[in-house]
Amino acid sequence: KLQFLYFIGAPMTERVPKRSLSLPSVKDRKGDETGFAAGERASAGKDVASVVRSVKAHFKNSIIARDGLFVILYRLNEEGGRDWFVRFIHTKGGGVPLLLAAMDYHLSDMVFIETASQLLFSLMHYGGKKQIRVVQKVVKKGGSKLLLNILNFHKAVNAKIVQNICSVICTVATVDQKIGAVSRLSGGLATLLTICKKSNKELIIPASTCMLALVGKCPLNPPAVVKKGAVPLLMDVIQKTLPTRQLPMSVRITCKLLLLLARVEEGASAMVKEGGVMTMFTLLDHPSAGVDLQKVVLDTLRCLADNADGARHFESLGGTKRIVDIVMNSNSEKNGGSLLDITMHLFRFHGVTELPIHQEQEVSFNYPFEEGNTYDSGDITAFTPELGVRRGGRVPYEHEHDTASHVRLFVDPMASPSCPSVLKYTPDDTEPLYTQPPNLLNNLVLHDLKRLMEPEHLVNAVVYDDIDRTIPEELNPRKCVEPVLRFSSRFESGNLKRAIQIYPNEYDLILNTDMNSAYHSQWFYFAVEGMVPGVEYKFNIINLEKASSLFNEGLRPVMFSEKEFTQSGKGWHRIGTDVAYMRNAYKRRPPLPRDVERAMSADKKRFKKKDCPSTDAEKAVLVSSVLRKLENRSQGSCFTLTFKGTFDHEDDMCYIAYSYPYTYSDLQSYLKHLPEQHPNLSEYFTNQVLCKTVSNNNVNLLTITSYKRDDGTPYSQEEIAARKVCFISARVHPGESCASWIVKGLIDKLLDSSNDDSKYLRERLVWKIVPMLNPDGVINGNHRCSLTARDLNREWSNPSQVVSPSIYWLKGLIKHVKLKQGRDVLLFCDIHGHSKHRNFFTYGCNAIKKNAAVTPALVLERVLPRLIKDETSTFSYDSSSFKVQKAKESTGRVVVWKELGVRLSYTIEASMMGSDRLLTKSGRLMPGHFQTSHYMDIGVAFLQGLKPFVCSDSDPSILRLGDVVHQLITELTGCAASTVASRRPPCAPATPDDDEDEDEDEDDDDDDDDDPDEDDVLFQYDG
């Protein structure tokens, strides 16, 4: 026994090797294994279940049970401990519930509780996503109250127990919303105060940290803690540390706790009586006070300044002016994020948190939700015209009602921009990425700080609103300083909500969120005129949402000048200096009642599929759930894109945009003029209306395939039906305008009658292309959603004919072609833009498991991206990913792959910025911005990469396909494949359901963009 205990309890460096131990296999009179026998077996690498069974069998024997816990604790720290951790928390009839029951039974046994609390602490801090399971089980089994009882019982006996239990309670508090009330009623808060009063340096930090986690969990806790004398105690802790050169960790925790207490009237009054204002000023000016501590102190001072007595003390010590001086002097040597962080907090200290606009005054669109209001597109077989009866001259779609239906209630709408969005203009050479000056962020922060320090120099005048809005007196347009820029976004795809003149040549710009939504503000497109040539203007777009952006990596906006185009033919080009993207002080607006109503209405169809809430209580729970989701979404700050620009011409009209615009009218104009460019277009092209949107705009469906041979004789219906079908879609997210340029390049290539490859692809494939899945969003300047506030790329699992008609009819068409007509659907590809990564890349559906046998059939999905990589230097195969994440299970790529069995199902992602490897006219590779020609070229490269998939066995391209397969197998296995039965991989689609491996333990990822580095795989082939 002593040998075993020594082995378990000794430091890691002193432990005897396991194999040198010869522990006795002791058995009791009933023949059951004791904890020591279980320990021996565990040390020999046996199952964790044997230890749990031993502890369970000798539950009331604290010595044997404790030894079993020792074994588990030791094994967790050994190699292979992860496996023990997973098995322990999933052990049936044991694991965490057994540990809690044992702790409850042996509550007064100090030695047992010390071991058990150490094990519970290790389980909760083991790392990985599975540790949340431990916390959830503790909460579910009533562990919160037990932990507080243990703390009450052992508060003055064992420091190790107090440390472990306090740490465990802090972790449990992140999940258990009721633990705050339980801690007050059970005396836990009083116990923690008692521990703090003893001034034990070893316990002050864990006790105060635990109190911090509990006090904020219930609104009744702060007043209760104040009544028990917490404020004098905590103030004394801080005041004792002020003379020291280096503030201890306990000060930061104590300040956070005081901030919670200062938010209630009793706490603020108590702090003022204890000299809290002076103490906070002194602490703010302390040489070792970091940015995080200063932020807490500023928040506390703001709470104290709301108290009548505190306000007098605050002003007598210098007020806000002294606050700004102290903070900026102490942070003058800082740069980058730290300086930005404390400056934004200063703005919030001064109450600058709300965007300068009434959020309630927004444009809305009332869309139908009744199931009877469907959009009839006729028989779905009409969308396979290649199998129709008519063979002669096929007449392309006649453009009726193809003008954009715009729903924004503009006071004085403009016509479509006079700038030709689809202009094929290519700059003389590569447009390099922008390099920020060394101290740009510091200079921008200090410049913004002048708004607080020198408010008398601000203009603060509204110079543009897209609709009539109430303008407060502090933003009165009469204050503007001439000459003032004139803004507008009252045109198709335009997005600018308000422009405010801050200084004579600086403007804050606010964008519209997506229609019927409180979120998604990223796409911008506006016009400006009235500029003075040669004057540098600064633009700040202040309500962007994404936390990171390529604008900090060299991306610049694009601009079109009417006069420049008229005089020199120069089209869209990159502009901007001092380009930066950074967080600001403005908070996203909280959800309004109408936001909840819209969210409820948008999900009406989903609720009908379940048991629809009928009682008032059920409806209240549903409303609460929706409101909580919206509140979580509204948390966080807005972000600012700032850039400067100079204009060369007087009386010019200039358009500035996030990326090269491509509007709905551009698409309709392009399709309308195709017959002029291709005289024989009707022999291989058909344009139809797939459906109407909720705003009555057309969703075009293009069919491209050869109807006739070279000699003019038509192909038979059977010959065309035998061709594989490829589905292409784009612009499901309106703000990703580059997707339209890619589709344009792809269509131009397919329609090229003089190109042999184009003819080859038309004769062997049927192309079904939906160039704009979300025309409503494109027309109205949305960034991500449709007019129904839905992300249409999350509607594929169960699309609604009412809310998401384009997805409903496209999915129905793919299903009809594959399942009803029995034709071979070779490929589905949805084209997107990406705001966080460079280059072009793809997302596919086939994550190969570790140690899986890699075969030609298994690497099929990776072949096409590899072939595209060989076609262009701007495509990054390394950035491509083939994982299928839980958060993406309702996207088009995953649904078409999993539900419809199309293995070659991809998303092509195009960087909104550019590439690391752009080919210049001089022949060298360099980083640079993408131009419209680059986007169109990737469409061509995609077709070239697909060609080997449909070539005949005698075509040389088949060898290229085999070589790529061989290379992929070599890379994935780490060694050359010895034999490959066929150099051409089988293209017959496999049923994904037979090969998937769902990892149910992974968490959802709610990020807007797919991320190649995410690990939450939902489905993957196991080889």
pLDDT in tens, 903-948: 999 999 999 999 998 888 777 889 999 999 999 999 999 999 999 8
Cα–Cα distance, 848 to 203 (Å, whole number): 49
CA torsion 238-242-243-246 (nearest 10°) is: 100
**Residue 225: C-alpha distances to residues 149, 185, 196, 272 (Å):** 18, 12, 13, 16
C-beta of residue 553 within 8 angstroms of C-beta of residue 432: no
Residue 631, helix vs strand vs coil = helix
pLDDT beyond 50 at 255:
yes
Contact by Cβ (8 Å): 690, 813: yes
Q: Nearest-CA neighbor of 668 among 768, 572, 560, 779?
A: 779
Residues 99-104 have a mean pLDDT of 88
Shortest CA distance to 385 belongs to which of 369, 396, 401, 374?
396
Condensed to tens digits (0 to 9), the pLDDT of residues 582-638 reads 999 888 766 655 555 555 554 444 444 444 555 566 556 656 665 566 555 555 788
Return mean pLDDT, the chain: 80
The helix or strand, by DSSP H or E, that contains position 587, with its residue range, turns out to be strand 577-587
- The residue from 33, 909, 971, 1014 that is catalytic is 909
Cβ atoms of residues 837 and 879 within 8 Å: yes
DSSP secondary structure letters along 838-877: -SEEEE-S-PPPTTPPP-TTTTHHHHHHHHHHHH-TTB-S
d(CA 328, CA 857): 63
Q: Which two tokens stand for residue 796?
A: 């594929």
**In this prediction, what percent of the chain has a pLDDT beyond 90?**
39
What is the residue whose two structure tokens read 């967080």? 583
**Sign of torsion, CA 606 608 613 619?**
positive
Does residue 7 have a pLDDT over 70? no
CB 88 within 8 Å of CB 95: yes
The Cα 919–Cα 180 span in angstroms is 61
Backbone φ and ψ for 181, nearest 5 degrees, come out as -65, -40
Q: What is the DSSP letter of 696?
A: S
Please state which of the ranges 68-82, 326-340, 672-686, 873-887 shows the lowest mean pLDDT: 68-82
Question: Tens digits of per-residue pLDDT, 798-849?
Answer: 898 888 999 999 999 999 999 999 999 999 999 999 999 999 999 999 877 7
- Assigned token pair, 993: 């359901």
End-to-end CA distance of the chain: 49
Kindly state the average pLDDT of the residues 723-750. 96
How confident is the model at residue 955, as a pLDDT? 74
Catalytic residue list contains 909 = yes
Pick the closest to residue 502 from 475, 528, 523 (CA basis): 475
Span 423-471, pLDDT tens digits: 667 777 789 999 999 889 888 988 888 888 888 889 999 999 988 788 8
Give buried/exposed letters for 700-721 (b at 16+ CB in 10 A, else e): bbbbbbbbbeeeeeebeeeebb
152-181 pLDDT, tens digit each: 888 776 888 988 999 999 989 988 889 999
Q: How far apart are CA 414 and CA 417, in angstroms?
A: 8
Q: Cα–Cα distance between 999 and 997 in angstroms, integer?
A: 6
- The sign of the dihedral angle between the CA atoms of 118, 121, 123, 127 is negative
Strands 698-704 and 825-834: unpaired
Question: What are the Cα distances from residue 112, in Å, to 150, 202, 223, 379, 887?
Answer: 12, 21, 36, 74, 43
Rounded to two decimals, the pTM is 0.79
**What is the spatial distance between Cα 754 and Cα 748, in angstroms, rounded to a whole number?**
11
